[in-house]
Chain A
Amino acid sequence: DTAVSQTPKYLVTQMGNDKSIKCEQNLGHDTMYWYKQDSKKFLKIMFSYNNKELIINETVPNRFSPKSPDKAHLNLHINSLELGDSAVYFCASSLGGDEKLFFGSGTQLSVL
């Protein structure tokens, strides 16, 4: 009965690789987000999708490409991984522009 689930929970990979993180929500929400939490614990928005349409792209490098096949899914694909991409990535969802976000448990990405 998990509300927002993201996989994998941990991801360790080499520089230069391409990887994907998946996110699914079963809350019937129409808006989904990706947030990045850096080593200093800052949570910063990366992308926001509403009804499968991109509405926020916060100056994220184009190596990061979100894909929303439907309202319940928002996947994050990262090309040519760099050391600085190491962080915890959180998926979240909400209903419309409601500020109550429901978060996934996070994916800890380590780039070696």
Chain B
Amino acid sequence: AQRVTQPEKLLSVFKGAPVELKCNYSYSGSPELFWYVQYSRQRLQLLLRHISRESIKGFTADLNKGETSFHLKKPFAQEEDSAMYYCALRPQGAQKLVFGQGTRLTINP
């Protein structure tokens, strides 16, 4: 069975500090990993996907198959980064996403 674990329910950092949201997964096949974000009073939306290897809003995430991790990082946090972040996995060939339980990130001024 596939599982996505986000060990931190809450994460609080100061503005300008680096931030890392942890995500670990359990899946025997070749996974596709994503980060979704929900800002206050907005809908859940895709932030980035590992196959794109892109940086969105200063965030990056590297898939580490050895450690089965897909941590989300940003070198300098901004107040507008405060949101709920979900890590998600798409099993190979499946039309569904398996989500972690989410991490609420708060950036303090």
A contacts, CB < 8 Å to B? 4, 31, 33, 35, 40-45, 48, 50, 55-56, 58, 90, 94, 97, 99-105
Chain B residues engaging chain A, CB cutoff 8 angstroms: 9, 32, 34, 36, 43-46, 49, 84, 86, 90, 94-102
Contacts of B32 in A (CB 8 A): 99
Known: A48-B96, A99-B32, A101-B97. A43 touches B86 (CB 8 A): yes
Residues of B within 8 A of A44 (CB): 99
Q: Which residues of B contact A94 (CB under 8 A)?
A: 95
Question: In this complex, what residue of B is CB-closest to A105?
Answer: B43
B44-A103 in contact (CB<8A) = yes
B43 engages A42 (CB within 8 Å): no
Of A41, A48, A56, most B-chain CB atoms within 10 Å: A41
Query: Given A41-B84, A42-B99, A43-B99, 14 other A-B contacts at CB below 8 A?
Result: A41-B101, A41-B102, A43-B44, A43-B86, A45-B97, A48-B95, A55-B95, A56-B95, A56-B96, A58-B96, A97-B95, A99-B49, A99-B97, A100-B46
